[in-house]
Amino acid sequence: MAQNQAYDRIRANLDRVEMRILRACARAQRDRDEVTLVAVTKTRTLGEVIAAHGSSLRHFGENRVEDLEAKLPHLRQSLGQDLPLWHMIGHIQSRKAARVVAAADLIHSVDSMRLARRLDRFAQEAERVVPVLLQCNVSGEVAKYGFDAATPLAIDALEAELADLESLTHLDVRGIMTMAPIVTDPEDARPVFVRLREVRDRLRDALPFSDWQDLSMGMTDDFEVAIEEGATLVRIGRAIFGPRNE
Ligand SMILES: *Cc1c(COP(=O)(O)O)cnc(C)c1O
């Protein structure tokens, strides 16, 4: 597709997404500034990413480090100084932890203490402090990844398990993230988002070494409900770029 066609389509989609974000913020009496839109560029071409950047998006998310690494050098060349921030949102294999530290600006998907320790070690070697979120499974459905936070007992255990994060001084723990189950009615995701916010509030009380500010929740099908329930980061792909060929 011609670059200017891609640009027009993405800009029109983005206008609609932006309007929906504004309305959700208004319903929840929140400032638009409290919500960061992360455009999820997995499977998208470089041209689409550049078009999105041209429509003033500055936060992009990928779920595989290979895809991030493939896009970065080209973007550095075509965007010059005005580089976006990259969010790593997918599962991280431990042997790729160093590459994620090198490529990502914020990691949403820290899903075990083992991975946290590894990321901290590589961040130390790189002389960086890396902002991270902890991926939590709050829905109780059998999810592949994430800290178990689905029951009161699990949350008690989680508080104890996460106490060691304080000693990982090269990670800046900003909050938590979840993947809600796929639902047809976005209202069905609401209890999951409420639960995530409650887990965040518990961790904030129990582990005051961080402010636990961020809640990364909500995607194309449910981001408005997520914003109403306190999301500070929404991760949106299809509503901006169209359906994925998967
Ligand atoms: C793909 C993906 C998204 C975006 O999904 P859409 O339905 O395209 O909005 C958000 N978060 C994660 C972790 C993803 O892998």
Q: What are the pLDDT digits (tens) for 65-74? A: 999 999 988 8
pLDDT tens digits, one per residue of 58-113: 999 999 999 999 998 888 888 877 889 999 999 999 999 999 999 999 999 999 99
Quick check: is 244 in a domain? Answer: no
From the CA of 220, give the closest atom in ligand 1.
9
Q: CB of 84 closer than 6 A to ligand 1? A: no
Quick check: is 214 in a domain? Answer: yes
Mean pLDDT, residues 139-157 taken together: 90
Q: CB of 189 closer than 6 A to ligand 1? A: no
Nearest to 108 by CA among 42, 53, 160, 38: 38
Q: What is the CATH number of the domain that holds 49?
A: 3.20.20.10
pLDDT of residue 141: 79
From the CA of 63, give the closest atom in ligand 1.
15
Q: How far is Cα 230 from Cα 218, in angstroms, rounded to an integer?
A: 10
Q: What is the DSSP string of 11-31?
A: HHHHHHHHHHHHHHHHHTT--
**Which domain range does residue 132 map to?**
2-239
Q: How many domains does the chain have?
A: 1
